[in-house]
Amino acid sequence: MCMKWLIVSSDMTNQNLLSVEDFLDEKDASYKEIFINSETTKLDFLKYIKDITESTHCIILDSCVLYNLPNYAILLGILLGKKIKTFICTAQKYEREYEKASLEGQTFFRCFEELKSLLQYVRNNYELFAIASKQYESFSILFKRGIPFNGDCFAQHIAKDDTEVCDLFLSAGMISNATTEDGVPMICIATRNDCFEKVKWLVDNGADINAVSKDRGYTAVMDAVWRKNYPITEYLIKKGADLSVISSDGQSILVLAVGNGNPKIVKILLENGADPDVKDGMGMSARGYANLFKRKELMELMELFPPKEN
């Protein structure tokens, strides 16, 4: 969504109007203009209501001229009520400081005595304004759809591989490293549901591939091994997944792999440095389980990686 700017002036001949138009045109921004003066009737003003309420940001060019007009007070009230960020140029030094203080005392109003400083401030913060507008729009869409903005709901849509809603969550301010109420990272949720595209999407958006879930003590790559999902396992290994993490019940990733009996996954883990001789809480290693269960193919793979000398 592009921001919707509103320019307010006392007349069309204001010498600052062209400078603001040029700036917004340079940014390829959408904007509307309204003009308020002593001749503006209430009926005239009502015609502006839609443009005012639909704006996301407002630049007022000459508040020193507008300040005592009844319609200007109404305008400020609407802008404040709608929480529209407003940048006010007085076009001259305030003769009455209390007027300036009354405006700057409002969170969404910022005053400038000259247009140059106003435009410089807006230019310096333009990208932040755009991000905030997108964030607000996405949050509003989720709200209108009745979708709660929390980690558990985000996880539900990741599990459904719902890209549209997941994008809305992210642009509304949810972080890729968010967890469920139970402490399960989103990348683990995606992996547990075999959602390869969402795993990649989360990584592309900055998710920590080595985040550990609080329920099992698994990382995403451990979840992938548990699910016997070779493509996700391979992808996470290539992305630098830590293969030395021990789960909350004391199992190494190779113990998980041997338990699932998937030679292809055991092989890629061994080839990428997973230690077959790390013992679990029972004092058994992946190599030991392969021998215990008489998994010939796994035993042969282990033989290619002899125990390290102490």
pLDDT digit string, tens, across residues 9-24: 998 888 889 999 999 9
Q: Is the pLDDT of residue 102 over 80?
A: no
Q: Is the pLDDT of residue 103 over 70?
A: no
Tokens coding 196: 């390869």
Q: Is the pLDDT of residue 98 over 50?
A: no
DSSP bridge partners of 110:
87
pLDDT, residue 284, reads 92
Tokens coding 40: 């503006």
Q: Is the pLDDT of residue 100 over 60?
A: no
Please give the backbone phi and psi of residue 242, each rounded to the nearest 5 degrees, phi first: -80, 120
Of 64-68, 72-76, 212-216, 220-224, the poorest mean pLDDT is in 64-68
**Cβ atoms of residues 154 and 139 within 8 Å:** no
pLDDT digit string, tens, across residues 27-85: 999 999 999 999 999 999 999 999 999 999 999 998 888 888 999 999 999 999 999 99
pLDDT, residue 185, reads 98
Q: What is the pTM of this model?
A: 0.78
Tell me the C-alpha distance between 186 and 199, whole Å: 9
User: What mean pLDDT comes out for the span 241-251?
Assistant: 94
Q: Is the pLDDT of residue 254 over 50?
A: yes
Tell me the C-alpha distance between 210 and 174, whole Å: 19
